[in-house]
Amino acid sequence: MQTQNLGYPRIGSRRELKKASEAYWAGKIPVAELEKTGREIRLKNWKSQQESGIDLIPCNDFSFYDQVLDMSVLLGAIPERYAGFARTHSGTDLYFAMARGYQKGDFDLTAMEMTKWFDTNYHYIVPEFKAGQTFELNPAKLLSELQEAREAGIQAKPVIIGPVTYLLLGKEKETGFHRVELLSRLLPVYEQLLKLLAEQGVQYVQIDEPALALDLTPAEQEAIARTYTFFAEAVPSLKIILANYFECYGDNLQTAIHLPVDTLHLDLVRCPLQLEDILATDFVQKKTRLSLGVVDGRNIWKNDFEASLQLIEQAKAALGAERLLIAPSCSLLHSPCDLDFEKKLNPEIKNWMAFARQKTDEVAFLRKWASGERSEALKAVWEANRQAIESKKTSPLIHDPAVKDRVEQVTEKDTRRNSPFAARRKQQQEVLALPLFPTTTIGSFPQTPEVRSWRARLKKGELTQEEYDRLIEQETADAIHWQEEIDMDVLVHGEFERNDMVEYFGEKLQGFVFTENGWVQSYGSRCVKPPVIFGDISRPEPMTLRWTKYAQSLTPKWVKGMLTGPVTILQWSFVRNDQPRRDTCMQIALAIRDEVTDLEKAGIRIIQIDEPAIREGLPLRKENRRTYLDWAVRAFRVSASGVEDATQIHTHMCYSEFNDIIQSISDMDADVITIECSRSQMELLDAFHKFAYPNEIGPGVYDIHSPRVPSEEEMVGLMEKARKVIPDEQLWVNPDCGLKTRHWEETRLALEKMVSAAKKLRTV
Ligand code: GLN
Ligand code: ZN
């Protein structure tokens, strides 16, 4: 039985890579220093995995920005617009120009697109293909990392993305062809690479084909079969470990088990039942090995050794130990680095957790234990694990019977407003008395360095809570008065008191903890530190009431209450694994519901519940989507339905495709939805139009990602487009998203123009 790892976090346990890359981009350090940081991180990662006892340690899992971008460079798929730049700049600068764009001197190069990696919060750089696309091997990075590992005494296993997944992840930039047709051009380049690796004496190569976690067409399945048959014939000496993760093989199982590869990897965390499926096929008679991904690469919980061992024993009984590898479920890229850096966590909760460093230890332990090794030290590890798992099952820190009861008692009525939209709307119109094309914003106003410095000083004890509150009050009051001045219709308090839309609520809710260093890469140098939901969730006291009430007290105009929705809070946290996600989501929903009704009691008549993450929670396989959408919509409805008909509930979503979930969006039954729309020039509205979306809708009229101030005509133009497909009475006027990352100067100008654009619309 061997152990392997599929990939290790590359940001460094102190986010060294982030700091070095940003310093390099700012021209503060030379490239040599950036490279040195990369080498140090790789070396540390390799050594740590070696010490844990991992046999097959990955290399080329390191990346200065993104592993898919690395593949585009490796395969020579560099979009044409960078050709001039490539002639005059280093490979490193070209690489970063592709990732981030480049505007300086003679160059004005846009970045390649970025999108989410399967159902994770990691973003990859989307490969671009044209009809006559050619490929050319450029193996320098991979070979040098391989060599580097050897010098460190490690016979590393190179990791690459498989050709079918690579093509599917990309996008055609011309019409008239489908990217999978490029496979025959791509395979010779892969062949060249694999031969090169074989010549170098490489024994194992890991090829990731997570496209196998998706619903593939027969042609795509055939492409997979053709690819691996070709590799086996072209480079018979190389042992291919084929990795699929984030889902089971599903309908691709027959394709997968017949591939002539050395090893097939299974994500047994997401999909433990697939082991039984595989063992029921003629896979058993073959020689292919099975890599059992039993340690969760996507979450921060300790492995349950007993449960993992059951799976391992089951596989062992059918295949024998020699045909097994023990592994994490997927690359540990999605885990934080090292739990040992957490000094402030409650020790009981910390004892339930494992980060990447600890997970490789778990993998190694499981192999030993499953192989029958039993030293005193191993027995102690086993016993400690058993106790940790047991304490997590029973700890009063986690289990709050009142919360569980309340979830059980949620009725159909709790998921419904008193009256249907049409009736609510009449009442709302009476109470709110808003003009046609009402103007509003999405919630946050600029978080200036000053505002952020107050929070930092409060944390350090340099400001008292009172002093801090006064400052936030002043900032809020300024924002309210300014909105009144420019004649905005529905005001917001500005969210100055919030660091982050999820963290703010997590900090106020029971059942959450925060790590000091639990960073994971989101994209490039950007890292996120998701809150950890460890236990039953409740709301000890109101979370936003104070600030909303204060803002409302300053103005006779309506101030919109601003909350983050249950699905988004769930989606952007590390979630407990001892109960279904839907139950955790419902607990959050009930806490938000209480906040909503408290706001209403305090006289707030417009309340927005943001759900920007609802779309990204969508399961990879179509067959699982219905169930997810049902519970996600139900949770939202529970959070929103405690109010009177006359109280108007808004929701907000951004940066998603709506076509395939429009029914569910409609089922959420928010009175008003605001969406990001300007980048697509209102194309996203088509889904709402085709569906004849009945409730009110605010299509974003300007992109908040750019400091550019749009003109009044531009915004009127976009709204005119919207009016063609949505009746006037249903339309609101607002920006695409929150303005947190903008400066005040451009925000002021843009919103003044937005208000005058709305006024213009009212006259014609
Ligand atoms: N209310 C939030 C804000 O304005 C919404 C942010 C989001 O959609 N990501 O910042
Ligand atoms: Zn948004």
Is the CB of 443 within 6 Å of ligand 1?
Answer: yes
For residue 612, how far is its CA from the centre of ligand 2 (angstroms)?
6
Is the CB of 654 within 6 Å of ligand 1?
Answer: yes
β-bridge pairing 520-523 and 526-528: antiparallel
pLDDT tens digits for range 193-218? 999 999 999 999 999 999 999 999 99
Residue 471 CB: number of other CB atoms within 10 A?
A: 20
Note the pLDDT of residue 680. 81
For residue 499, how far is its CA from the centre of ligand 2 (angstroms)?
15
Closest residue to atom 1 of ligand 1, CA basis: 443
320 and 433 share one domain? no
Note the pLDDT of residue 678. 87
pLDDT surpasses 90 at 705: no
326 and 439 share one domain? no
- Stretch among 396-405, 580-589, 654-663 having the lowest mean pLDDT: 654-663
* Closest ligand to residue 442's CA: 1
383 and 423 share one domain? no
User: How many helices (H) does the chain have, and how many strands (E)?
Assistant: 28, 24
Which H or E run contains 128?
A: strand 128-129
For residue 28, how far is its CA from the centre of ligand 1 (angstroms)?
33
Give whole-number Cα distances, 167 to 42, 179, 363, in Å: 28, 6, 32
Is the CB of 562 within 6 Å of ligand 1?
Answer: yes
389 and 466 share one domain? no
pLDDT tens digits for range 616-664? 999 999 999 999 999 999 999 999 999 999 999 999 998 778 888 999 9
* Closest ligand to residue 654's CA: 2
Note the pLDDT of residue 209. 98
Reading the block at residue 597, the tokens are 């009704």
389 and 410 share one domain? no
390 and 405 share one domain? no
Q: Is the dihedral angle over the CA atoms 71, 73, 75, 79 positive or is it negative?
A: positive
Is the CB of 612 within 6 Å of ligand 1?
Answer: yes
Separation of alpha carbons 107 and 85, rounded Å: 8
- Contact indicator for 733, 761 with CB cutoff of 8 Å: yes
Note the pLDDT of residue 103. 87
**Domain range for 136:** 2-394
Please state the atom number of ligand 1 nearest to the C-alpha of residue 443.
4
Please state the atom number of ligand 1 nearest to the C-alpha of residue 654.
8
Note the pLDDT of residue 684. 87
pLDDT surpasses 80 at 330: yes
Please state the atom number of ligand 1 nearest to the C-alpha of residue 652.
8
- Please say which residue of 341, 365, 394 terminates a domain: 394
pLDDT tens digits for range 254-294? 999 999 999 999 999 999 999 999 999 999 999 999 999 99
- Contact indicator for 548, 604 with CB cutoff of 8 Å: yes
679 and 749 share one domain? yes
* Closest ligand to residue 739's CA: 1
Note the pLDDT of residue 590. 98
Which residues lie closer than 8 Å to 356 by C-beta, 6 or more apart?
Answer: 8, 9, 332, 335, 336, 337, 338
* Closest ligand to residue 441's CA: 1
Percent helix, strand, coil in the chain, to 5, is: 50, 15, 35
Instruction: Give residue 467's pLDDT band: very low, low, confident or very high (50, 70, 90).
Output: very high
Separation of alpha carbons 608 and 48, rounded Å: 47
Q: Give residue 419's identity as a one-letter amino acid code.
A: S
376 and 507 share one domain? no
More confident residue, 759 or 654: 759
Separation of alpha carbons 44 and 46, rounded Å: 6
Q: What is the DSSP letter of 123?
A: E
DSSP per residue over 161-208, as a string?
E-HHHHHHHSEESSSS--GGGGHHHHHHHHHHHHHHHHHTT--EEEEE
Counting the structural domains of the chain, the total is 2
For residue 46, how far is its CA from the centre of ligand 2 (angstroms)?
39
* Most ligand 1 atoms within 8 A of CB, residue of 740, 741, 747, 751 to mutate: 740
Please state the atom number of ligand 1 nearest to the C-alpha of residue 441.
4
pLDDT, average across residues 2-11: 98
Separation of alpha carbons 335 and 78, rounded Å: 30
386 and 413 share one domain? no
pLDDT surpasses 80 at 496: yes
pLDDT, average across residues 447-476: 97
180 and 268 share one domain? yes
Partners of 326 in the β-ladder: 3, 292
Residue 258 among the catalytic residues: no
Is the CB of 444 within 6 Å of ligand 1?
Answer: yes
For residue 498, how far is its CA from the centre of ligand 1 (angstroms)?
11
Q: Which contacts qualify for 403-409: CB closer than 8 Å, 24 or more apart? A: 403/536, 403/537, 403/538, 403/587, 403/590, 404/536, 406/590, 407/583, 407/586, 407/587, 407/590
pLDDT surpasses 90 at 764: no
Instruction: Give residue 511's pLDDT band: very low, low, confident or very high (50, 70, 90).
Output: very high
Is the CB of 518 within 6 Å of ligand 1?
Answer: no
DSSP per residue over 56-85, as a string?
B-EES---SS-HHHHHHHHTT---GGGHHH
Please state the atom number of ligand 1 nearest to the C-alpha of residue 498.
10
- Please say which residue of 394, 418, 440 terminates a domain: 394
Which residues lie closer than 8 Å to 128 by C-beta, 6 or more apart?
Answer: 77, 79, 112, 113, 170, 171, 173
For residue 179, how far is its CA from the centre of ligand 1 (angstroms)?
35
pLDDT, average across residues 106-125: 92
Is the CB of 740 within 6 Å of ligand 1?
Answer: yes
292 and 438 share one domain? no
Note the pLDDT of residue 657. 81
For residue 487, how far is its CA from the centre of ligand 1 (angstroms)?
22
* Closest ligand to residue 655's CA: 2
Is the CB of 425 within 6 Å of ligand 1?
Answer: no
369 and 467 share one domain? no
Maximal CA-CA distance, the chain: 83
- Please say which residue of 369, 394, 419 terminates a domain: 394
The CATH number given to whatever domain includes residue 640 is 3.20.20.210
* Most ligand 1 atoms within 8 A of CB, residue of 440, 441, 442 to mutate: 442
Residue % of the chain over a pLDDT of 70: 100
Please state the atom number of ligand 1 nearest to the C-alpha of residue 738.
4
Catalytic residue among 89, 258, 399, 705: 705
